[in-house]
Amino acid sequence: MTEYDVAVIGAGMAGLTAALNIKRLGKSVIVLEYETFGGQITHSPLVENYPCVTAASGSELTSTLFDQAEQLGAEFESDKVVKIIPDNAAFDVVCESGSYRAKAVILATGAKPRMLGLEREEELTGEGVSYCSLCDGAFYKNCPIAVVGGGNSALGEALNLASTASKVYLIHRGKEFRGEKIKADKLKSLPNVEILMETKVTELIGEDCLKGIKISSPDGERIISLDALFVSVGHEPCNSAFADVVGLDDKGYIIAGEDCLTTRKGIFAAGDCRTKKIRQLTTAAADGSVSAEAACAYIDNM
């Protein structure tokens, strides 16, 4: 079993930043990722809210960071972690294809946006279907769009998009919004916002890109022509494999504060997988730096 100072699980912005800083602090590190190196942001064609980067695709941004970490000596493996076994002053990280031993572990597994479960939804992601208005809203200036959801995130996205879109359809399956009344009232007052309650999206229309949606409500079915559908029905953290070694909250997020310390000594959490209020690239990068410092300090004080 190969041994490292730190094992980083997840290669999004948080995990890659952690790996970069771990190498700069003179430790060995293995980064384990079973999906996309770079994480969810690689699906965004344009990032404009990252400091000092005027505009870049998500894949360009994380590819540069990957290269930085690799050039410093960080090692990467494409494998899925199935469990972590504490063993004296170290941890055995068990994957589908092998195992690794590390003195400290950083969990940077992220959180996936909940999908609607519609046919071709994944295929049209990035081609009109989006899960982040901050990432993709600028592409649809003066265009008709729809937002699905009824919580504060959905209401906030609809408000942001209404300032630039020609028309915003806010679609919610419930009879009442779960979000703040003040936000809902503001949306109701906007002339370019149409609110559709007790309504579900049942079909995505379009071949290479989204052209419209079919909706269903007590009034029957209807087809709406639009250029983008923003899905805001929550996120799902990818932490189930670690429930027996670190504490999770009732939504499945790893209990850890700004210091990235979990309930288990030697295991740290960074990025969208942990309990936090703001989940953006900048906060993920910050967590990567903090968790790297914390993990290396833990090892030095063993």
Superfamily of domain 2-113+235-300: FAD/NAD(P)-binding domain (3.50.50.60)
Set 95, 132, 238, 273: catalytic member: 132
| Residue 135 annotated to the active site | yes
| Residue 209 annotated to the active site | no
Q: Are 165 and 140 in contact (CB under 8 A)?
A: yes
Structure-block tokens of residue 242: 């670690």
Q: How far apart are CA 31 and CA 127, in angstroms?
A: 30
- What is the CATH class of 121-231? alpha beta
| Residue 136 annotated to the active site | yes
Q: Are 40 and 33 in contact (CB under 8 A)?
A: no
pLDDT by residue (tens digit) across 107-141?
A: 999 988 889 999 999 999 989 999 888 778 889 99
Closest by Cα among 180, 177, 183 to 162: 183
Set 5, 79, 135, 272: catalytic member: 135
pLDDT > 90 in the chain, percent? 79
Closest by Cα among 112, 99, 102, 82 to 8: 102
Residue 8's pLDDT is what?
Answer: 98
Neighbours of 186 (CB within 10 A): 15
Set 5, 79, 136, 227: catalytic member: 136
Q: What is the mean pLDDT of the chain?
A: 93
Q: How far apart are CA 55 and CA 277, in angstroms?
A: 25
Return the CA Rg of the chain.
Answer: 21
Q: Examine the pLDDT at 45 and tell me if it is beyond 70.
A: no
Neighbours of 280 (CB within 10 A): 17
Q: Which of 49-58, 82-91, 108-117, 289-298 has the lowest mean pLDDT?
A: 49-58
Residue ranges of the domains in the chain?
A: 2-113+235-300, 121-231
pLDDT, average across residues 53-79: 93
pLDDT by residue (tens digit) across 226-265?
A: 999 999 998 889 899 999 999 999 999 999 999 999 999 9
